[in-house]
Amino acid sequence: MRCLTEVTGVVLAGGRATRMGGLDKGLINLNGQPLFEHVMSKLAPQVGSMVISANRNIEIYQSFGIDVLSDTLPDYPGPLAGMLSAMQHLSGEWFLFCPCDTPNIPDDLAYKLWMQKGESYAVWVNDGERDHPTIALMHRKLVTDLEQYLAAGERRVMLFLRKVGGKPILFANQMQNFINVNTPKDLMHREKE
């Protein structure tokens, strides 16, 4: 596993989790460990530093010894708000975003995105069947574009990534690594694995 010290890892845990009954999805246990910790333990060895993007239960996340950022925009406007907040408040150039409900990300996620980004300031995961736009490597040069996009009332991650010239990176035959835990049923299914 290669560590990219120039990349900051950001676990996105700031949503409302309506499909999970409004519980803080990042703190829901999967096999005895909070979902966000599964993601963090996979992502941390791949990047130079780590933070959590969260809008509630801040003290609980901080108790795990990690810095926590909250959205700068009100009313939970979605993953792009967490991405914007990280790029506004942290000093790095590159950020690898990953939602807290994707506990099986591959060990080469950061390296593969980095090596295949080319001249793009934004790349995201495609598993061969579908896009995963919230698992994305982005450059801070996109901050102004993102501020304007959100100010216009837009919230769709994929639309933004395409608008700024981003491109998907294929992770062939890895669908199982990008399955989300969105509902209590998903959680039960993952605990049986």
Residue 150 structural domain: 4-191
For residues 6-30, average pLDDT = 77
Least confident of 75-79, 134-138, 156-160: 75-79
For residues 146-150, average pLDDT = 96
Could you write out the three-class secondary structure of 38-106? HHHHHHHHHEEEEEEEECCCHHHHHCCCCEEECCCCCCCCCHHHHHHHHHHHCCCCEEEEEECCCCCCC
Percent of the residues in the chain that have a pLDDT greater than 70, as a whole number = 88
| pLDDT of amino acid 183 | 59
Who has greater pLDDT, 50 or 1?
Answer: 50
For residues 54-64, average pLDDT = 92
For the chain, how many residues are written? 193
> How many separate helices (H) and strands (E) can be counted in the chain?
7, 9
Percent of the residues in the chain that have a pLDDT greater than 90, as a whole number = 70
Whole-angstrom distance, CA of residue 128 vs CA of residue 168: 10
Listed residue (100, 50, 80, 98) closest to 142, CA to CA: 80
Cβ of 193: how many Cβ atoms within 10 Å?
Answer: 9
Are 13 and 52 a contacting pair, CB within 8 Å?
A: yes
Are 178 and 186 a contacting pair, CB within 8 Å?
A: no
| pLDDT of amino acid 171 | 96
Whole-angstrom distance, CA of residue 123 vs CA of residue 115: 11
| pLDDT of amino acid 15 | 65
Whole-angstrom distance, CA of residue 171 vs CA of residue 191: 24
| pLDDT of amino acid 182 | 65
- Whole-prediction pTM value? 0.92
Q: Domain with 173 in it: what CATH number?
A: 3.90.550.10
Report the domain count for the chain: 1
Whole-angstrom distance, CA of residue 60 vs CA of residue 75: 21
SS3 5: strand
| pLDDT of amino acid 14 | 74
Q: 93-121, pLDDT tens digit by residue?
A: 999 999 999 999 999 999 999 999 999 99
Answer whether residue 163 shows pLDDT above 80: yes
